[in-house]
Amino acid sequence: MKKRTRISLASAAALGLAAGGLGIAQATATTAPSQPRAEAPDIPVEKVQGHLSELQKIAEANGGHRAHGSEGYKASIDYIKKELDAAGFTTKVEEFDGQGAKGYNLVADWKGGDEAKTVMAGAHLDSVEEGPGINDNGSGSATLLQTALAVSEGKYEPGKHLRFAWWGGEELGLLGSSAYVKGLSDDEKSKISGYLNFDMTGSPNPGYFVYDSAKEPEGSKAIQDSLTASLKEGKVEAEPQDINGRSDHAAFSEAGIANGGIFSGAEETKSQEQADKWGGKAGEAFDPCYHSTCDTTENIDEKALNTNADAIAKSVWELSK
Ligand code: DPN
Ligand code: ZN
């Protein structure tokens, strides 16, 4: 008897999805009042730009930067947290000791999904002291925030559990992400099925790089492939790049956790071949304002920001299905 019930429930659900308008579909609708979105939405780039303007204002009000240990950093955390709380996330500010100053990570969980298969996506929220850090890494932080808000707006019901994180102290040596990973038990680590990192996604002379999984833990190739395919849907041919220890994915990598990410380039020079492929200026840095005063809201290529945001949302959805 029990078994029969289960079968009919399963077929009802299948029918509900496949054939709208049937009585069965209505029954499905009663259990899930407004229809959850199964596909990633197009991320409105003006919303991402709006968050970047807020981060710029925060820097201006706090001595021109948002560095670890500063008021500007704490204000950045408060801004992101408020947006997530209003959208229904369970947020936690986790403190760590970072070279004598108090550091903060912000961790936001979306209810539901299998916690034994948690997909994490993170971005560092601190800037260097030289400037407001809008491309590095307001871009990744704002994109991740808008992706999380899209999860809420779309009432997404992922099969896996989704957790977003904003890291402190990255610019001083991955302090926040390392503290977070260090604080996890082996059991907790084993429940993270993958970590996606977004550090610089709107470089003014953009490159389109996906972290190379070749030397990364098992499972990283699937993340690389997903991000590459998502960018391809945005009509961009990405290149794999070995990011080594240069951003927060490294803390996860060291713990044996599958990882990957998107990067639009920093101080390195764009080649002629890359300029032919992606546009922009050969012989110039992907981000000439990297780690400097001019890393402001002017230091963003909106098309790159937009293309990367859509790809990021697509892969976050797909990898957490
Ligand atoms: N987070 C920056 C750095 O550590 O220098 C820039 C960067 C991000 C470099 C991603 C490589 C990859
Ligand atoms: Zn960075």
Do the beta carbons of residue 130 and residue 292 sit within 8 Å?
yes
In angstroms, what is the span from residue 174 Cα to ligand 2's centroid? 10
Residue nearest to atom 1 of ligand 1 (CA): 247
In angstroms, what is the span from residue 122 Cα to ligand 2's centroid? 12
Both tokens assigned to 180:
């977070």
User: In the chain, what are the domains?
Assistant: 45-319 (3.40.630.10)
DSSP H or E stretch at residue 221: helix 220-233
Q: CA-CA distance, 151 to 180, in Å (whole number)?
A: 23
- What is the number of the ligand closest to the CA of 124? 2
- Burial level of 241, CB count in 10 A (0-12/13-18/19+)? middle
In angstroms, what is the span from residue 128 Cα to ligand 1's centroid? 12
Atom nearest to 124 CA in ligand 1: 1
Residue nearest to atom 3 of ligand 1 (CA): 246
Ligand 1 pocket list (CB less than 6 A): 136, 170, 199-200, 243, 246-247, 263, 266
By most ligand atoms within 8 Å of CB, the mutation choice from 247, 253, 290, 299 for ligand 1 is 247
In angstroms, what is the span from residue 243 Cα to ligand 2's centroid? 12
Q: What is the CA radius of gyration of the chain?
A: 20
Residue reference for tokens 């945001």: 309
**Does 284 qualify as catalytic in the annotation?**
no
In angstroms, what is the span from residue 267 Cα to ligand 1's centroid? 9
- Burial level of 258, CB count in 10 A (0-12/13-18/19+)? buried
Catalytic residue (one of 83, 170, 171, 216): 170
| CA triple 288-134-74, angle to 5 deg | 140
By most ligand atoms within 8 Å of CB, the mutation choice from 66, 126, 136, 290 for ligand 1 is 136
pLDDT digit string (tens) for the chain, length 321 residues: 333 333 333 333 333 333 333 333 333 333 444 677 788 999 999 999 999 999 999 999 999 999 999 999 999 999 999 999 999 999 999 999 999 999 999 999 999 999 999 999 999 999 999 999 999 999 999 999 999 999 999 999 999 999 999 999 999 999 999 999 999 999 999 999 999 999 999 999 999 999 999 999 999 999 999 999 999 999 999 999 999 999 999 999 999 999 999 999 999 999 999 999 999 999 999 999 999 999 999 999 999 999 999 999 999 999 999
Do the beta carbons of residue 99 and residue 88 sit within 8 Å?
no
Both tokens assigned to 93:
């500010």
Question: Which pLDDT score, from 0 to 100, does residue 34 have?
Answer: 62
Residues with Cβ < 8 Å from 315, sequence gap 6 or more? 196, 223, 226, 227, 230
Atom nearest to 261 CA in ligand 1: 10
- What is the number of the ligand closest to the CA of 127? 2
In angstroms, what is the span from residue 164 Cα to ligand 1's centroid? 19
Residue nearest to atom 11 of ligand 1 (CA): 246
- 258: closest CA among 283, 303, 224? 224
Question: Which pLDDT score, from 0 to 100, does residue 275 have?
Answer: 98
Residue nearest to atom 5 of ligand 1 (CA): 246
**Strand 90-98 and strand 101-110: pairing?**
antiparallel
E-strand ranges in the chain read: 90-98, 101-110, 114-124, 160-167, 192-198, 209-211, 239-241, 259-263
By most ligand atoms within 8 Å of CB, the mutation choice from 246, 253, 290 for ligand 1 is 246
Atom nearest to 197 CA in ligand 1: 10
**How far does CA 7 lie from the centroid of its chain?**
38
